[in-house]
Amino acid sequence: MNSIVPDSSFTARSIAENVQSGEWSAVEVLEGYLSQITQHESEINAFNTVLEEEARATARETDKDIAAGKTLGPLAGVPVALKDNLCTNGIRTTAGSRILENWKPPYDATVVQRLSAAGATVIGKTNMDEFAMGSSTENSAFGPTRNPHDLSCVPGGSSGGSAAAVAAGFAPISIGSDTGGSIRQPASLCGVVGVKPTYGSVSRFGLLAFASSLDQIGPFANTVRDAAIVHEVIGGHDPKDSTSISEPFPSFLDDLERGVEGLKVGIISELMGGIDGISPEVIQKTREAASVLSENGALIEEVSIPASLYCLSAYYLIAPAEASSNLSRYDGVRYGLRVSGETLAEMNINTRTEGFGDEVKRRIMLGTYALSAGYFDAYYGKALKVRRLLAENFDEVYSKYDVLLSPTSPCTAFKLGERTADPMTMYVNDVCTIPSNLVGHPAISVPFGSGNDGMPIGVQVLAPPMQEALMYRVASTLESAEK
């Protein structure tokens, strides 16, 4: 079986064009990526499931359709890796948890359906922090994922497997979910592009829920253009998702190379040293990114989002509270793991004790406590007020500025095991990304150089709701400066 050896010049766009034209076959492309997985997956552990035979069947069908003269979608023959919390019909979907270790959903998530309709080939399901709860992909029941740039380091989380799969050359694109930074933070640590769309602009139907008012699905890619192409494919209204936005979904590609001349860009001062724990080299790279935008005609000024100082505290009340409710469905009765007991209550306790890992248990307990009688107003109610205040802060700033700029991750990739003993130290990794989740706005992480340790650094572009086209324009300018 012939295969094509993928390299850094391969993009989803170039693959689709070559497959559609007949220059390459979808099978040859797929075999090239499967070869990369065979050679290096044992070192990285990016996948929970590699779908070799299913992917080959899809690729053969793609080649048959093209031979028959059919015009396929914008991802024709493009391998894609899916985070293992997206439902795939008849294919194991674990959410990185023992409680769903052998569960096979009876349907596909809407995002999976749209990728398939666009011609993509699903190559596997990627490793993740259990139920998306973590910032390092060390909380998976199936072992940690390693960073392809340094195997002694974490890839970030919770979508660490998806980020690592793209960075390692296992797939040109992948899909993750972002509840508090779970796409953007691993994108930064692995040196790839990662996007959190506007809340409600990409369907969550078929996503195993962590915190329903925060979760959002988005793409990883090697280029801004590829991310935009995938975003257009998976986005748009879905009647199966009650939070789905019904307004027409805009194109991101028409103005991608338009540049930033005349745009007003605000640098969020609180994320440039106003909050402890953000490293000087990350701050410096963000300032260099601002200089690039200035040199290309943008007006750069520092802005203040005062409520961002309290985002971490608010998030770690709101998200666990929603998780406490969402994860109550895993009770050993309807589906997933069941550990027997003499009574129904004992069976439920045994199942959840054995099925959930320590971090999931910790967050369920935090959330249950925050929602309990006597503490609701003191904790959860106050967190919601901070969320409202943050939205007002953003509305005020966006009345004067087109986009905002900040670091993505407060540091480069840290060593495996370095922060697992201290949950609070781990939680700080989300400090720059959480604000966008709390207000539901889009944001993108773009690779922008490396730290003193040689590991990647990403900068974050934030935009108002449904203004992804503007966000991609700015990201494309930053990307061009890095090449």
Residues with active-site annotation:
83, 158, 182
Phi, psi of 94 (to 5 degrees): -105, -20
**Matching residue, tokens 């748009």:** 236
CA dihedral sign of residues 239, 242, 247, 248 = negative
Q: Which residues contact 365 (CB under 8 A, 6 or more apart)?
A: none
CA 262 to centroid of chain Cα atoms = 30
Distance from C-alpha of 334 to C-alpha of 149, rounded to nearest angstrom: 41
**Matching residue, tokens 């996007």:** 195
86 and 175 Cβ atoms separated by less than 8 Å: yes
CA 234 to centroid of chain Cα atoms = 13
Dihedral, CA atoms, 57, 59, 61, 65, nearest 10 degrees? 180
Distance from C-alpha of 139 to C-alpha of 359, rounded to nearest angstrom: 7
Longest Cα separation, the chain: 71
Distance from C-alpha of 112 to C-alpha of 11, rounded to nearest angstrom: 20
User: CB atoms < 10 A from the CB of 152, how many?
Assistant: 12
Phi, psi of 363 (to 5 degrees): -75, -35
Closest CA to 51 of 93, 5, 107: 93
